[in-house]
Chain A
Amino acid sequence: MSAYQPKIVCFSCNFGWGYLSNKSELMQKIQNWIPITCTAKIDPLFIFQAFAKGADGVLILACPETQCHYEDGEFRTEKMVLLLQNVIEAFGIQRERVQIMFARDPEGHDISNLVERMRNKINALGPLPKDIKGKGEYTYGQKA
């Protein structure tokens, strides 16, 4: 059973996370790490598409409260995540699969540990149900 390796997509803000690191080196180490200029730029669509393309969890690393380069981006992201968590639950996706953290790590030392920690948490939840709420693979028609 240990063959299951949850795929985690990690977004992090360029102003708080890893801006002093060697990004391309770090990217080799951390799969699916997406540095972004302000987490408020994360469209909920990105998270849905991540799930649709096979992610088992999404981790957002935002800046600490009051330290957003754009005033309150981290707060907007937090609100978005709270709403989104309520929406994905209706689709049978546990809310824990989307998480947000507020901190700073310019050297990016912690990112891979945080992703690993998220991976372990998601591992305990098991794989994302492929057929959400028992919707079977669609076979009758030709269009699927």
Chain B
Amino acid sequence: MAKKPKIAILWLSACAGCDEAIVDLNESLLKTLEPVDIVLWPVAMDYKYSHIHALNDKEILLSVISGAIRNSEQEELAHLLAKKSKMIFAFGTCACYGGSAGLANFCSKEEIMNWVYKDAPTVVNPSGQIPQPKTRINENIELTLPEFYEQVYALDQIIDVDFYLPGCPPPPDLIINAVQHFLSGDLPPKGSKLASRTALCEVCPRNHTKPPRLEIKEIKRVHEYEADPDRCFLAQGILCLGPMTRSGCGETCISVNTPCRGCFGPLPGVLDAGAKGISMLACILKAGQSRNPKKLMNSLVDPAGYFYRFTQPVSILNQKWRRSND
């Protein structure tokens, strides 16, 4: 009997929602995964990293990796799978763009450590201890912990990625579609995102209620205002990232009367979600006759967090650390 292709499924800095999305395939999961051998899936199976080390290089057909990278253990595992796999699949928005975990990049490591281990009101830490990568217990024993990095990285900032599937988490139809592509060998070009190339607005059931010229005079926030369940959010003055977000999510947020937050990431060709968001909103925010736009522009609470909710690590300004010393 021909050997089944090997697949690894791994979470890094993830919430497990992406793993859950795979489990949620239910019966079709069994069918989908029937033709493969799973060699690693921490959320569902017992395994040892030594088993992976023991494999030949490129012996794994496909590694499905969810989550961003924040510490040295995650980076080490990503490199290990890159070495052992023919293809790397960045699964879910955290792996593709850094995801919501990437918002932590708006704080420094020091600020995070101080808050979590010292300053948060629920913390009791009289000696002010902060976890260290190495702690000497006695002459013979030194304990180690993975190193917490200065920032969160998207997967392709650490290893080469062959395919991407955004989504927080990716929806079942796109997961099954991706698996079928991998198993049949009928693959799009390397670097492809295995998702739609159109904006969410194009498939949104509320799109026909959008006026030809959008103008927002006052930003309304979802928790302050009861949204009309059938009208375009932007037409109601509630911010929605549908115009600049890739579709494919199944309009799940829209269908529960919640505006799009952009989890599928920006459209193809967009280099920076924030830049797109700024141009989009600067156009439609209408600042009255007085021509004093300051108040309206400042009424957008936490604009950086809003525009980069899922993509901070891959934003241009965050990547300034790559800048050479010229």
Interface residues of A (CB under 8 A from B): 43-45, 47-49, 51-54, 65, 75-76, 78-80, 82-84, 86-91, 93, 130-138, 140-141, 143-144
Residues of B within 8 A of A133 (CB): 106-108, 111
Given A80-B282, A130-B323, also A86-B303 (CB < 8 A): yes
What are 25 pairs between A and B in contact, CB < 8 Å? A43-B279, A44-B272, A44-B278, A48-B272, A51-B317, A52-B323, A54-B326, A75-B291, A79-B293, A80-B278, A80-B279, A80-B282, A82-B297, A84-B278, A86-B300, A87-B303, A89-B304, A93-B317, A130-B325, A132-B318, A134-B108, A134-B109, A134-B110, A138-B150, A141-B75
The answer to whether B297 touches A137, judged by C-beta atoms less than 8 angstroms apart, is no
Question: Could you tell me if B157 and A143 are in contact, using CB atoms closer than 8 angstroms?
Answer: yes
Complex-state Cα separation, A128 to B177, whole angstroms: 45
Residue of B150, B159, B322 most packed against chain A (CB within 10 A): B150
> Knowing A45-B271, A52-B323 touch, does A83 contact B300 (C-beta < 8 A)?
yes
Look across to chain B and name the residue whose beta carbon is closest to the beta carbon of A78. B293
Closest Cβ of chain B to A106, distance in Å, is 24
Residues of chain B from 291 to 326 with CB closer than 8 A to chain A in the complex: 291, 293-294, 297-298, 300, 302-305, 307, 315-323, 325-326
- Check: B38 CB closer than 8 A to any chain A CB: no
Determine the main DSSP class of A at the interface with B.
helix
Tell me whether A52 and B319 are in contact in the complex, defined as CB-CB below 8 angstroms, given that A44-B279, A87-B304 are known contacts.
Answer: yes
B residues sitting closer than 8 Å to A (CB atoms) are 72, 75, 79, 105-111, 147, 149-151, 153, 157-160, 271-272, 274-276, 278-279, 281-283, 285, 287, 291, 293-294, 297-298, 300, 302-305, 307, 315-323, 325-326
B282 is contacted by which of A54, A83, A131 (Cβ under 8 Å)?
A83
Q: Are A82 and B294 in contact (CB under 8 A)?
A: yes
Tell me the complex Cα distance, A51–B287, Å: 28
- Of the candidates B108, B153, B274, B323, the one whose C-beta lies within 8 Å of that of A87 is B274
Q: Which residues of A contact B320 (CB under 8 A)?
A: 51-52, 130, 132
Nearest CB in chain B to that of A72: its residue:
B291
Residue of B at shortest CB range from A54?
B326
Interface contact B297-A90, CB-CB below 8 Å: no
**Min distance, Cβ A79 to any Cβ of chain B, angstroms:** 4
**Judging by beta carbons under 8 Å apart, are B79 and A141 in contact?**
yes
How many Å lie between the Cα of A141 and that of B272 in the bound state? 24
The listed residue (B149, B304, B315, B321) touching A131 by CB distance below 8 A is B321
> Beyond A87-B307, A91-B317, is A76–B75 a contact (Cβ under 8 Å)?
no
CB-defined contacts of A132 to chain B, threshold 8 Å? 317-318, 320-321
Picked from B147, B281, B285, B321, the residue with its CB within 8 Å of the CB of A135 is B321
Query: Do A137 and B291 touch (CB < 8 A)?
Result: no
- CB nearest to B321 among chain A residues: A135
Say whether B317 contacts A54, CB under 8 Å: no
Residues of B within 8 A of A131 (CB): 321
B contact residues around A44 at 8 Å (CB): 272, 274-276, 278-279
Give the top 7 A-B pairs by smallest Cβ distance, nearest first. A90-B304, A80-B282, A82-B297, A45-B275, A44-B275, A134-B108, A79-B282
